[in-house]
A and B are shown apart, each in its own frame.
Chain A
């Protein structure tokens, strides 16, 4: 059991607290009486990962051992998480590589020749050969790339209809997956709800299906459409899942102090903090991007579970829930969150992604219930610089420039812009042949933020670029005091304030 989280009440003795703001790390003094929510400290990672993986595959939950499921001549597809989950280590092999190598060793021994590996990208960008090599290692890459190792393509015609959603939308899934005898899904999770839906099919659906089921007009029953696709997909494919949970934050000696409680900082931690502060002041913004990324060493693996997805998923969820802060006593009037740049992506977040990531913390944060009351104010720290990755985000540029400047209402966006983006041949070309996110990706990111926008009264970005913050429908403030002043109209002059310490969970590319 790791050290549990706790709530600190800020008083005159409280030192300034670490707040992430894009590529910067600020030391911010909070008003007296505010609460600071510290998440529990991460569990120590598993030391003997190899043995743990072997054990999980030999004794799966509600399933025969993997070695018995792999049969001579069977058609096996291995589906793995893409860069929506972090690369777990900079120096050692990624945990996906460790698991998949083990699975392939069993497959080779069982006499399986027909193996294909598919990155479950959903509508996210394809993985570059470099990404694939980093995630899976040179051995797997050299053995299978490019024919048997590739990313899912939602626009490719090779899909099979395996059912219909309640509204009549056909559910089209990657043909290779449906025609397999065994689908082995390797999934990573750092926090509850970060692992995604139990059905692996959600990340392997066609763009048409994803569009229909994620539309703001689809209603809640659309989410249930994949329910029958958890343990089996289509007629032949049985799913065997391997769930790996990670520590929520990178565990490296150099940046570990950023998630520590500031009162407990050692002399070294203070020196490192002063160093980061100085570097933030001195370096130009492009050079700052890597500042807090380089030093992170990796994510520890806290558990490996394998077996039948419908049995394993609840176990993984409850294991992750144990690591979270319990219920908040009463939701505050004002909640404060810092948004850092994700580790491993190597670029600043674009404003749409940053906003949806921050707002995602309201309902899917480190607490079971929202930390802020309905109609309250959320204050985020992020510069919201209107910068978009030229290779990954071409559709985002137009979504931000054209669609969001016209309206921020999901229903209206869906009605007026979605079809044009979804059918644009240039976006499709970039998605299929370059490394661009699908044109629907910005829409879905925005839709995912919509419930939080409805729930909150005001949304203020400290240090946010004025123009882009306004375009997203939020307010920009220069300092925390300004932000609290702006919020006082709706929450009064003496609001209760909760600061959620540390990096948000699921700090990766938005799925």
Chain B
């Protein structure tokens, strides 16, 4: 299917954005690094970043197949040199550094390219957690579900890698920030911060898979969990 446009995304999902104020005060460009559960991610981020990064180039690390992949590799569209050139010209770049996409939308290991690009250009790296997009638009659907589902977009504080930093260390920092965002969706903001500070592996670890299912369980069970509907958000007239 084709990539949905910003306007379509606005109609189809209800984005809840947190942490955008960290960015609105800083001059661009930024290197956004996000997890990639769904095809909805790039247009969704283009929508919520419309003011902060009016021009946003989205690039995924997972290799493209077919004619498009051949075309991209022939022109070097995904090369570090081209992306660094874009950043130097003031265009923000959105990277999805997961080397492959999990079938249930969970986080998979990151390619170090994003961290390297950040160190190379000195542009602030902004970790972005996307949550709920897998459920809103799983791979087998062409349109998101009709209930205008909530999707969470959580921006972390910008990371400014020092010159000569170790890419794996910077990458760890990005992964931690994205994991913290996922924990925030699950356990609430302060709970996630506390668990992160304590280094409690249970709380943070279980949050790494979005559906809450442990790895190693049957595929259908992971997908079943990842697509479980939200708790019903009833609107009440009477305030408590």
**Chain A contacts to B: CB under 8 angstroms:** 47-51, 92-93, 98, 104-105, 108-111, 113, 115, 128-130, 138-140, 142-144, 146
Contact = CB atoms under 8 A, between A and B. Distances in A.
Interface in B211-240: 239-240
Interface in B4-38: 16, 18, 21-22, 24-26
Q: Which of A104, A105, A128, A143 gathers the greatest number of chain B CB atoms within 10 Å?
A: A143
Interface stretch (B87-95, B135-143, B188-196): B188-196
Contacts of A143: 188-191
Interface of B: 16, 18, 21-22, 24-26, 157, 184, 188-191, 193-194, 196-198, 239-240
Given A130-B239, A139-B18, A108 B190 contact: yes
Contacts of B240: 129, 146
Contact of A49 (B18, B25, B157, B184): B25
Nearest to A49: B25
Given A108-B194, A130-B239, A139 B22 contact: no
A109 B26 contact: no
B189 A142 contact: yes
A139 B189 contact: yes
Given A139-B189, A140-B189, A143-B188, A108 B21 contact: no
Given A47-B25, A49-B25, A129-B240, A109 B197 contact: yes
A92 B21 CA distance: 7
B189 A98 contact: no
A272 to B, nearest CB: 24
B197 A111 contact: yes
A50 B26 CA distance: 10
A492 B26 CA distance: 59
Contacts of A93: 21
A109 B194 CA distance: 7
Contacts of B196: 108
Task: Give the top 10 A-B pairs by smallest Cβ distance, nearest first.
Answer: A108-B193, A143-B190, A139-B189, A143-B188, A143-B189, A48-B25, A109-B197, A108-B194, A108-B197, A93-B21
B17 to A, nearest CB: 10
Contacts of A144: 190
B190 A138 contact: no
B62 to A, nearest CB: 31
Contact of B18 (A109, A110, A138): A138
Contact of A50 (B22, B184, B191, B194): B22
B39 to A, nearest CB: 27
A138 B15 CA distance: 14
Given A47-B25, A92-B21, A113 B189 contact: no
A405 B78 CA distance: 79
A131 to B, nearest CB: 10
Given A109-B193, A144-B190, 14 more contacts: A49-B25, A92-B21, A98-B21, A104-B193, A115-B190, A129-B239, A130-B239, A138-B16, A139-B18, A139-B184, A139-B190, A143-B189, A143-B190, A146-B240
A128 B22 CA distance: 27
19 contacts: A50-B21, A50-B25, A50-B157, A92-B24, A98-B21, A104-B190, A105-B193, A111-B198, A113-B194, A128-B239, A130-B239, A138-B16, A139-B189, A139-B190, A140-B189, A140-B190, A143-B189, A143-B190, A146-B240
A117 to B, nearest CB: 10
Contacts of B22: 50
A104 to B, nearest CB: 6
Nearest to B26: A48
B52 to A, nearest CB: 12
A88 to B, nearest CB: 12
Nearest to A146: B240
Contacts of B193: 104-105, 108-109
B90 to A, nearest CB: 18
A49 B239 CA distance: 33
Contacts of B21: 49-50, 92-93, 98
A139 B157 CA distance: 15
A83 to B, nearest CB: 15
Contacts of A105: 193
Nearest to A98: B21
Nearest to B22: A50
A50 B188 CA distance: 22
B47 to A, nearest CB: 16
Nearest to B154: A139
Contacts of A138: 16, 18
Nearest to A142: B188
Contacts of B188: 142-143
A136 to B, nearest CB: 11
A128 B196 CA distance: 31
Contacts of B198: 111
